[in-house]
Amino acid sequence: MPEKKASKKKIFSKLLTATAGVNLLTSVVIILIIYAGFWGILSTKTPNLWPELDKNLLFLLPLALILFSAIFNFLNASIISAKIVNPILKLAELMKDVRKGKLDLRADIKTNDEIEFLAETFNEMLSELIKEKGKIG
């Protein structure tokens, strides 16, 4: 059976792109809604709330917020993606070793989520395989 090569870089990249994209889109929408609210307040015929505020600053403010949001979301998505991808790849490597007959391995993955549950189930499966192997041989 040919081995499928799951590139860590490729998996990480896809997850990172999806996470960062959704976060950035949400941030941009929120920033633009806030910006529209400020612009509405400033453009009404009520007394000017910020007389010294330059209109160029009001234009550049959402752009600066979007840039900051993009950088923050990229860093956040990188951290989240690494926390998801690395344990899964570790478990995949252990599965390859088990396929080669190494039944004495155990997955030591502590993530306090579904990935840890998957690792515990993997360990239980290995224990059952060892018991069955002992019955046969």
Residue 70 in domain: yes
Residue 2 in domain: no
Share of the chain above pLDDT 90, in %: 18
Can you give the residue range of the structural domain that contains 79? 8-136
Tell me which amino acid residue 22 is.
V
Question: What would the two tokens of residue 102 be?
Answer: 């190494």
**Are the CB atoms for 30 and 66 separated by under 8 Å?**
no
On average, the pLDDT of the chain sits at 77
Residue 40 in domain: yes
Alpha helix locations (H) across 7-113?
8-43, 55-99
Closest CA to 85 of 2, 17, 21: 17
The phi and psi torsions of 54 (rounded to 5 degrees) equal: -80, 135
C-alpha 39, offset from chain centre: 34
Q: Kindly report, residue by residue over 11-52, the tens digit of the pLDDT.
A: 666 766 777 777 777 777 777 777 777 666 656 655 555 555
Residue 20 is given by DSSP the state H
Residue 15 in domain: yes
Average the pLDDT over each of 6-10, 33-37, 78-82 and give the range with the smallest value.
6-10
Angstrom distance (rounded) from CA 104 to CA 67: 50
Reported confidence tier of residue 124, pLDDT bands at 50, 70, 90? very high
Question: What would the two tokens of residue 83 be?
Answer: 């926390």
**Are the CB atoms for 71 and 9 separated by under 8 Å?**
no
pTM for this one?
0.59
Quote the number of domains for the chain.
1
Residue 3 in domain: no
Residue 48 in domain: yes
> Tokens 């950088």 belong to which residue?
71
Question: What would the two tokens of residue 97 be?
Answer: 């070793």
Residue 1 in domain: no
